[in-house]
């Protein structure tokens, strides 16, 4: 019987062995499927919980292995909202322990490894008293709180609170202080045992009790930020003497960049600012605009932009005149007054990185610079500026190629890299008087900034307003590409990852500089790429028409006074790339008045 049952399951014909190629194909398919599954984005595993709380509660949060963000909001009266999420393993109810007793609330988070850490976002009622403890995780305290006592090991501490009346005490227990503040802080005091502290008050000492805030931040080796945007934090937080580039920025009156210098070195900024004569016009905050948008004025004025025109194959279209272009502003066509042809000369600044990061390649840089001089048009006026932690003017604008080649021998290498400051210097010192003319900056660098006063986000605003085309030619450095490490926003301490890890952001920043200015970014991987980039830069410059048109505000303008630009080239298959538009001068009426 069992024989018959067993026989029923036997195949009616001999089984064939799988062919080796079939097995290989199957394994390849399986491996590909696993790779696809592994590559799919994973969502953070989170839970949310609300806790009833009395107004003016006292809340204690202990999250030793994760980030903490506390936001005091007016709509949170009577409750505390907790969101816990993890980039790794799911968050379970038992991972978050809450206890409410005696008018206080305790929130304890179970410690896990960094990959599976738990990050907290806690929304609390205004005027709450906070106690937060972490180790390596970043802690943010935001809003109208009564007080915040925060302790970390290496984690960054950010306080962003109303400044009506703030009493603060910042303490570093195992390192020299690293901090960045929107308001000027008193001098650092050194205490026994290698401790350092900063304490003081901002605002009205006699302010109403509901306006007073107390901050007590203590860390072993972390960074403390006081009412600043983390994206505006420079790479070097130490107060230091102003460089020539920084002094030029202060003299320029560019409000955003001047503030950046002041925040890094408030004492030395004040000393230098006191030596300057009063400005004819005080620096004012200006509205910043996204690429493709320009500021509108209340009266007609001339605006100027560069337009690169190519056909479907990417080749430059030359010989166009004013009648071949149409300029539209907020959907309305504007009058074109002038179109400079593509062969009109440019004012070019060659910006050379000679810092320690490229010191061993100084002869290569000189040769590369001379090759560039031989590539551009003989009509173009060229200035050469080298930079390390400060700038060195090798030559002002000239068409004398022999002189420029000789001056390149004056370059001296070594030191940190302040590429942001160098670009800022060119904008405010070299190109400011040429506003509205055909201007461009060619940057030869590894792009790895580690010493600038001006953060990249602030620099971008000034680049956009300058109207200059920027062509970054970035050589690879020995640092780790930032794309190959976890994005700062998903790490345990985003600020520490972004500014204190040995990585390069050159690729991302180079692309943004080119995008905002209307230029082209060239990542240089091989020696031959450099000459090809030079040839392409020259070709791009020869594609650029400079268009001047009449602009005026009207009732169709937006409430913010902004307007959008579109330029059409009346040529079949033409594609137009624009630089930002800059004002040239007001238009005179028939009586000659502006």
319: part of which helix (H) or strand (E)?
none
Q: Helix, strand or coil for residue 480?
A: strand
User: Whole-angstrom Cα distance, residue 389 to residue 561?
Assistant: 39
Q: Are residues 526 and 552 in the same domain?
A: no
Residue 585 in tokens: 């001068």
User: Whole-angstrom Cα distance, residue 465 to residue 303?
Assistant: 12
Residue 389 in tokens: 């932690």
Q: Are residues 492 and 571 in the same domain?
A: no
Find the Cα–Cα–Cα–Cα dihedral 556, 558, 561, 567, rounded to 10°: -70
| 124 in Cβ contact with 72 (< 8 Å) | yes
Within a domain: residue 263? no
537: part of which helix (H) or strand (E)?
helix 527-543
Within a domain: residue 477? yes
Q: Which of 208, 228, 248 is the last residue of a domain?
A: 228
Structural domain count, the chain: 3
| 305 in Cβ contact with 579 (< 8 Å) | yes
Q: Are residues 462 and 480 in the same domain?
A: yes
Q: What is the predicted pLDDT for the residue at 235?
A: 81
- For 399-463, give the DSSP string: S-HHHHHHHGGG----S---HHHHHHHIIIIISGGGTTS-EEEEEEE----SS-SS-HHHHHHHH
Given the DSSP bridges, would you call strands 178-181 and 223-226 parallel, antiparallel or unpaired?
parallel
User: Whole-angstrom Cα distance, residue 572 to residue 443?
Assistant: 34
Q: Which of 202, 228, 254 is the last residue of a domain?
A: 228
Q: Are residues 450 and 515 in the same domain?
A: yes
User: Whole-angstrom Cα distance, residue 359 to residue 6?
Assistant: 81
Q: Are residues 326 and 204 in the same domain?
A: no
Within a domain: residue 260? no
> Tens of pLDDT along the chain (594 residues)?
333 333 333 344 443 444 554 555 555 555 555 444 444 444 457 899 999 887 778 999 999 989 999 999 999 988 999 999 999 999 999 999 999 887 799 999 999 988 899 999 999 999 999 999 999 999 999 999 999 999 999 999 999 999 999 999 999 999 999 999 999 899 999 999 899 999 999 999 889 988 999 999 999 999 999 999 988 888 888 889 999 999 999 999 999 999 999 999 999 999 999 999 886 654 544 445 554 444 444 457 889 999 988 888 878 888 899 999 999 988 889 999 999 987 889 999 999 999 875 556 788 888 999 999 999 999 999 999 999 999 999 999 999 999 999 999 998 888 899 999 999 999 999 998 888 789 999 999 887 888 999 999 999 999 988 889 999 999 876 543 444 445 555 567 776 665 554 446 788 899 999 999 989 999 988 878 889 999 999 988 888 899 999 987 543 443 334 668 899 999 888 999 888 888 886 544 444 444
Within a domain: residue 352? yes
Beta-bridged to residue 181, according to DSSP, are 226
User: Whole-angstrom Cα distance, residue 156 to residue 288?
Assistant: 29
Count of residues making up the chain: 594
| 245 in Cβ contact with 424 (< 8 Å) | yes
Q: Are residues 530 and 478 in the same domain?
A: yes
Q: What is the predicted pLDDT for the residue at 495?
A: 65
Radius of gyration of the chain (CA): 30
Write the CATH number for 391: 3.40.50.410
User: Whole-angstrom Cα distance, residue 162 to residue 88?
Assistant: 35
| 149 in Cβ contact with 158 (< 8 Å) | no
User: Whole-angstrom Cα distance, residue 506 to residue 357?
Assistant: 13
Residue 263 in tokens: 């925040």
Residue 304 in tokens: 């100027």
Q: Which of 228, 243, 262 is the last residue of a domain?
A: 228
Within a domain: residue 30? no
pTM for the complete prediction?
0.76
Q: What is the predicted pLDDT for the residue at 295?
A: 45
Rounded to the nearest 10 degrees, what angle do helices 255-264 and 456-466 cross at? 160
Rounded to the nearest 10 degrees, what angle do helices 244-252 and 266-273 cross at? 60
Within a domain: residue 121? yes
In this structure, how many other beta carbons lie within 10 angstroms of the beta carbon of residue 424? 30
Q: Are residues 581 and 446 in the same domain?
A: no
| 461 in Cβ contact with 516 (< 8 Å) | no
Q: Are residues 178 and 326 in the same domain?
A: no
Q: Are residues 538 and 551 in the same domain?
A: no
Domain that holds residue 103: 45-228
Within a domain: residue 18? no
Phi, psi (degrees; rounded to nearest 5) at 568: -110, 135
Q: Are residues 504 and 550 in the same domain?
A: no
Within a domain: residue 253? no
Q: Where are the alpha helices (DSSP H) in 338-414?
A: 362-375, 401-407
Q: What is the predicted pLDDT for the residue at 77?
A: 86
Q: Are residues 305 and 449 in the same domain?
A: no
In this structure, how many other beta carbons lie within 10 angstroms of the beta carbon of residue 377? 15
| 322 in Cβ contact with 533 (< 8 Å) | no
User: Whole-angstrom Cα distance, residue 555 to residue 551?
Assistant: 13
Q: Are residues 391 and 525 in the same domain?
A: yes
pLDDT digits (tens, 9 = 90+) for 19-53: 554 555 555 555 555 444 444 444 457 899 999 88
């Amino acid at each position: 019987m069992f024989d018959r049952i067993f026989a029923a399951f036997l195949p009616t014909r001999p089984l064939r062995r799988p062919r080796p190629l079939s097995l290989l194909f199957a394994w390849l398919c399986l491996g590909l499927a696993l790779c696809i599954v592994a590559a799919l984005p994973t969502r953070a595993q989170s839970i949310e919980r609300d806790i009833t709380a009395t107004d003016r509660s006292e809340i204690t949060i202990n999250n030793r292995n994760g980030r903490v963000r506390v936001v005091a909001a007016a709509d949170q009266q009577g409750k505390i909202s907790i969101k816990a999420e993890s980039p790794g393993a799911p968050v379970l109810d038992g991972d978050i322990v809450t206890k409410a007793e005696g008018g206080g609330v305790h929130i304890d988070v179970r410690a896990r490894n960094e990959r599976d850490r738990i990050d907290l976002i806690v929304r609390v009622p205004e005027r709450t008293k906070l106690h937060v403890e972490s180790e390596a995780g970043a802690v943010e305290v935001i809003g109208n709180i009564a007080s915040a006592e925060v302790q970390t090991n290496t984690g960054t501490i950010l306080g962003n609170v109303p400044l009506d009346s703030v009493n603060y005490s910042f303490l570093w227990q195992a390192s020299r202080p690293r901090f960045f503040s929107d308001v000027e802080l008193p001098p650092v005091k050194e205490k026994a045992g290698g401790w350092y502290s900063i304490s003081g008050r901002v605002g009205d000492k006699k302010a109403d009790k509901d306006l007073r805030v107390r901050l007590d931040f203590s860390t072993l080796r972390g960074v403390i930020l006081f009412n600043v945007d983390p994206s505006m934090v420079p790479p070097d937080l130490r107060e230091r003497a102003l460089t020539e580039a920084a002094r030029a920025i202060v003299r320029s009156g560019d409000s955003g960049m001047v503030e950046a210098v002041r925040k890094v070195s408030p004492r030395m900024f004040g000393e230098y600012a006191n030596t300057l004569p009063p400005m004819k016009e005080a620096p004012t905050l200006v509205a910043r605009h996204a690429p493709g948008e320009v500021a509108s004025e209340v009266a007609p004025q001339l605006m100027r932009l560069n337009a690169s025109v190519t056909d479907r194959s990417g080749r430059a279209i030359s010989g166009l005149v004013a009648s071949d272009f149409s300029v539209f502003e907020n959907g309305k066509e504007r009058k074109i007054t002038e179109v400079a042809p593509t062969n009109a000369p440019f004012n070019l600044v060659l910006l050379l990185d000679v810092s320690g990061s490229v010191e061993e390649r100084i002869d290569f840089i000189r040769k590369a610079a001379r090759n560039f001089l031989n590539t551009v048009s003989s009509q173009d006026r060229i200035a050469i500026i080298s930079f390390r932690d400060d700038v060195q003017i090798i030559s002002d604008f000239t068409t004398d190629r022999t002189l420029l080649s000789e001056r390149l021998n004056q370059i001296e290498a070594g030191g940190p890299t302040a590429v942001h400051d160098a670009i800022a210097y060119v904008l405010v010192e070299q190109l400011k008087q040429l506003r509205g003319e055909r201007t461009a900056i060619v940057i030869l660098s590894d792009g790895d900034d580690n010493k600038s006063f001006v953060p990249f986000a602030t620099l971008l605003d000034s680049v956009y307003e300058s109207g200059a085309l920027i062509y970054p030619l970035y050589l690879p450095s020995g640092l780790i590409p930032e794309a190959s490490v976890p994005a700062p926003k998903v790490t345990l301490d985003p600020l520490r990852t972004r500014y204190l890890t040995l990585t390069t952001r050159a690729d991302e920043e180079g692309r943004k500089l080119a995008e905002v200015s209307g230029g082209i970014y060239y990542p240089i991987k091989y020696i031959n790429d450099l000459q090809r980039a030079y040839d392409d830069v020259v070709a791009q410059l020869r594609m650029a028409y400079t268009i001047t048109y009449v602009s005026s505000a009207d009732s169709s303008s937006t409430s913010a006074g902004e307007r959008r630009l579109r330029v059409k080239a009346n040529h079949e298959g033409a594609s137009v790339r624009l630089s930002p538009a800059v004002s040239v001068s007001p238009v005179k009426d028939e009586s000659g008045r502006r």
